[in-house]
Amino acid sequence: MKMAGRFLARLRNPNGSSMHWVAWVVLGVLLATMPWIIGASFGNTWLRILNFALLYVMLALGLNIVVGFAGLLDMGYIAFYAVGAYLWALLASPQFGLHWPLWAILPLGAAVAGLFGVLLGAPTLKLRGDYLAIVTLGFGEIIRIFLNNLNAPVNITNGPQGISAIDPVHFGSVSLARPIDLGFTTLPSLVAYYYLFLVAALLIIAIALRLESSRVGRAWAAIREDEVAAKACGINTRNVKLLAFAMGATFGGVAGGLFAGFQQFVSPESFGLLESVMVLCMVVLGGMGHIPGVILGALLLTLLPEFFRHIAAPLQQSLFGKVFVDPESLRMLLFGLALVLVMRYRPSGLWPSPQRRREIDDVLNTDAPADLPVNPT
Amino acid sequence: MDIFLQQIINGLVLGSIYALVALGYTMVYGILGLINFAHGEVVMVGALVAYSIMTALLPTGMPPVLLALLALLVAAPVCMGLAWAIERYAYRPLRHAPKLAPLISAIGVSILLQNLAMMIWGRSYHSFPDILPAITYDINGAHISLLQVVTIALAALTMAVLAWLIQRTSLGQAMRATAENPAIAELMGIPVNRIITLTFIIGAALAALAGLMVGANYSVAHYYMGFMLGLKAFTAAVLGGIGNITGAMLGGLLLGLIESLGAGYIADLTGGFLGSHYQDIFAFLVLIGVLVFRPGGLMGERVSERA
Amino acid sequence: MTTQPLLLVSHVCKAFGGVQALKDVSITLKRGEIYGLIGPNGAGKTTLFNCLTGLYVPDSGQFVFDDKPLVCNAPDKTVRQGIARTFQNIRLFANMTALENVMVGRHARLRSNVLSDILRTPFNRREEQATKDQALQLMRYVGIAHRAHDLAKHLSYGDQRRLEVARALATHPKLLCLDEPAAGMNANETAGLRQLIETIRADGISVLLIEHDVQLVMGLCDRVAVLDYGELICEDIPAVVQQHPRVIEAYLGSGAHA
């Protein structure tokens, strides 16, 4: 962690060290060669997992806008991922015989997801934290239940079976589902998707970073810190909150679209509450509101459980001669345990922003009283 | 008419169970301001422990009622111990941590318990043995079984005892004081930590009873049952005004009624467009509706913005 | 400068449950004035503030500010119209830096939107830089520029008060409402505050001041209104107010004036 931090500091600090551009180049080369290395040494399974990790980075950054920046606890976030995914599935599959191109669906998916974000945000504006949590959770479930059941009397979503044979991501006649011949080499499908997702993720990181240090980012932080004071500063809290919901949802919609094109299959099962919880955990575990922390959280929570899943069975086999515990449930067991332990020993996340870290220390050391209730006179 | 009455009966049974579980959520929330996400899993553990005890003792030929009683006598302490451990190790260290930390920890406990249960009891659905003879009464064409009568009565009795405990005993007074303001309560000599632990333990006892009831009424128990049940019960607690004991009871009953009536009539209401599998949507739609118009829940105080 | 009053409060009533917090209160605030609002605890001073700044909706009555009626229950619009406030118990954005706090105050006066924020248009860059400069300037103005990059909550009490004033000034108000700014301050800090308020007025911003420190109010304000149990007892220059029998009664209890 410390090394990563120092590395990051170098990336940030252009005049402090002459190493900074070297760090950028190293990072760039690492990201560019990653799929080849992973593909060659661990195979396609891990390449696929890597791609999912990038999707989760996008999702976590989207949720981070709502939860981390604006302080609104959204527990149904995966609904927007679902909206993006199903929109792609419906507009580019044999389901309705539509085959729209990427440049049309992806912006539309983002927009529709954003609209759903506003739809969720509007009735919940006045709700306090925990009420908001449960309403958003309910919203997520409603979306999933509809996806699950909208196959009768009119078949829209194809119900629990989901929609298959979805068009892969393609640019003109070049489909990412097949190896792409670049002349000097061929790009395997999974690697092509990796690059696409990497570009999308970098774009989203850039947007998130810019939003954080902007007029609207400050307004979000102000609402998170003290809503009444934010109003007194001339912030239209309603609009700014809706904007947070919409913005976060947009990221989710984009990630969802990419997911549908990548997987070529969507079903309601992928959008359950556990997924929402998972993304929330990425944000909180990584370090709420701190973009590098959130990215770390997303990567860790996608990669580590997979890692356990893959080593659990062989490890048990070699140690005890048989598999005692189903690797899948062992993976979730450890996940649950990790959540409890990380929160206990690092309640502000693994990599919180330097400011937040200080805040936690303050609270833990001083037992500071909560702010005093105010009498109306 | 008989369908209506039938759905009311079914709703009351479901609602009584929701209410019992909702009480656990609401009591903890009232004192700690924490959504005890793992509470649904405690219910699940209660149901599965009860199931194991009953199936183990079934060959002895004991009368089923006695079996159920024994099962409860084992399940309740197990749940209470579990709740104690959860509070002690997953929540208490986080009492002064940022707000989301205990919530995430609770989610962690929930996932942990689910998977532990899956390892112990497996993925399959376990069919619950009958605990009461299958006697049914007929009221105006609607059926109510002895089990349903007992369920409703037992839930009502338990809630009455709880209400008495909280309103009339010194323990209840200490609990209310702690809920109002833990810091002041502590200054007044109330052992706040012990009160919090007790709250968890009482909630767990109710959860064990609820677990047995769910198993008995729906004849099934499995590792995943706590999740949706917990979610619904929490919804009921919020519906009634979270932190409010009466609210939780009312919210539970109301949610049960809404769900069963909704499931019974949704097809008619929508001209067959939506079927009864939309049952789960009702809970959330009602919840959203109530919160939009009464952000504090039905029995909760209105939360006005403070300047 | 016109002779029209800057703020006209007419017949404002507000009740909480059974308690009538404001009973038919009418006051007038002239341009360029430092106007004091005093009264015992619970007299309704902060309630009037909250109604004025849009946090509460009055049951009846209206506010006319700068010749335009104020929109109730829309604090952000009130700010746009030129009224800024501070809070009795300081309400800063605790985990943001002092500078960011003041920059938030500029919010309503900025024209960037999400799109320009994301694209970082040249206009956006210029505006952000200008916002930062203005915020720093305001921090120098209230005398806490050296704390610009500290978290708001790490500032001393007196500095937090000043920061709150700077944040309010950042909204570019015509009227600055201060809710007990001297509460908890020592004599030194109070003297500094007094100087600051006079400077603010000299720079053309009217000030509405709730304060318990009678000495400060009487020495600083051009005119003073006294509230008691939600009612306006009198509104006049300090010398007259001090002699008003009902004011003496309200402050010292009946029977005190022999």
DSSP A167-198: PPPEETTEETTS-EE-SSSEE-HHHHHHHHHH
Helix/strand/coil for C145: helix
In chain A, % of residues over pLDDT 70? 89
Contact state of C103 with A218 under an 8 Å Cβ cutoff: yes
Residue C139 lies in a domain: yes
Closest Cα in chain A, distance from residue B213 (Å): 25
Local confidence band at A373 (pLDDT 50, 70, 90 cut-offs): very low
Contact state of B305 with C87 under an 8 Å Cβ cutoff: no
Residue C60 lies in a domain: no
Residue B140 clears pLDDT 70, i.e. is over it? yes
- Beta bridge pairs of residue A266: A163
Contact state of C87 with B307 under an 8 Å Cβ cutoff: yes
Contact state of A216 with C93 under an 8 Å Cβ cutoff: no
Whether the CB of A279 is below 8 Å from some CB of chain B: the reply is no
Contact state of B274 with A73 under an 8 Å Cβ cutoff: no
Q: What is the pLDDT of residues A36-84, one digit of tens each?
A: 999 888 889 999 999 999 999 999 999 999 999 999 999 999 999 999 9
Contact state of A225 with C44 under an 8 Å Cβ cutoff: no
Contact state of A234 with C50 under an 8 Å Cβ cutoff: no
Residue C225 lies in a domain: no
A27 neighbors A11 (Cβ within 8 angstroms): yes
Q: Which residues of B touch A137 (CB under 8 A)?
A: 231
Q: Closest by alpha carbon to C78, among C206, C5, C201, C174?
A: C174
Contact state of A344 with B104 under an 8 Å Cβ cutoff: no
Closest Cα in chain C, distance from residue A233 (Å): 5
Token digits of residue A159: 């119900």
pLDDT at B139: 84
Closest by Cβ to A141, choosing from B100, B105, B280:
B280
- Bigger pLDDT: A272 vs A200: A200
Local confidence band at A371 (pLDDT 50, 70, 90 cut-offs): very low
Whether the CB of A368 is below 8 Å from some CB of chain C: the reply is no
Whether the CB of A323 is below 8 Å from some CB of chain B: the reply is no
pLDDT at A375: 32
Closest-CA residue of chain A to C46? A377
pLDDT at A367: 39
Residue C232 lies in a domain: no
Q: List the alpha helices (DSSP H) in chain C.
A: 45-52, 75-81, 98-105, 114-119, 122-142, 157-170, 187-202, 214-220, 238-243, 245-252
Q: How many domains does chain C have?
A: 1
Residue A160 clears pLDDT 80, i.e. is over it? yes
For residue A65, give Cα distances in angstroms to A213, A290, A295, B123.
12, 10, 13, 37
Q: Is the ipTM of this complex over 0.90?
A: yes
Q: Closest by alpha carbon to C206, among C157, C173, C159?
A: C173
Enter the DSSP assignment of B134.
-
pLDDT at A12: 61
Closest Cα in chain C, distance from residue B301 (Å): 13
Residue C40 clears pLDDT 50, i.e. is over it? yes
Residue C253 lies in a domain: no
Residue A363 clears pLDDT 60, i.e. is over it? no
Whether the CB of C173 is below 8 Å from some CB of chain A: the reply is no
Enter the DSSP assignment of A371.
P
Local confidence band at B56 (pLDDT 50, 70, 90 cut-offs): very high
**Every domain of chain A and the residues it spans:** 44-272
C87: containing domain: 83-172
Residue C24 lies in a domain: no
pLDDT at A17: 54
Residue B283 clears pLDDT 60, i.e. is over it? yes
- Bigger pLDDT: A216 vs B246: A216
Q: Which residues of A touch C80 (CB under 8 A)?
A: 234
pLDDT at A293: 95
Q: Which residues of A touch B97 (CB under 8 A)?
A: 343, 347-348, 360, 363-364
Local confidence band at C3 (pLDDT 50, 70, 90 cut-offs): low
Enter the DSSP assignment of A65.
I
- Beta bridge pairs of residue C8: C28, C64
- Beta bridge pairs of residue C225: C37, C235
pLDDT at B275: 66
Q: Which residues of C touch A377 (CB under 8 A)?
A: 21, 41-47
Task: List chains adjacent to chain A, taking adjacency as at least 3 C-beta pairs closer than 8 Å.
Answer: B, C
Name C55's Cβ contacts closer than 8 Å, sequence gap at least 6.
Answer: A228, A231, A232, B305, B307, C75
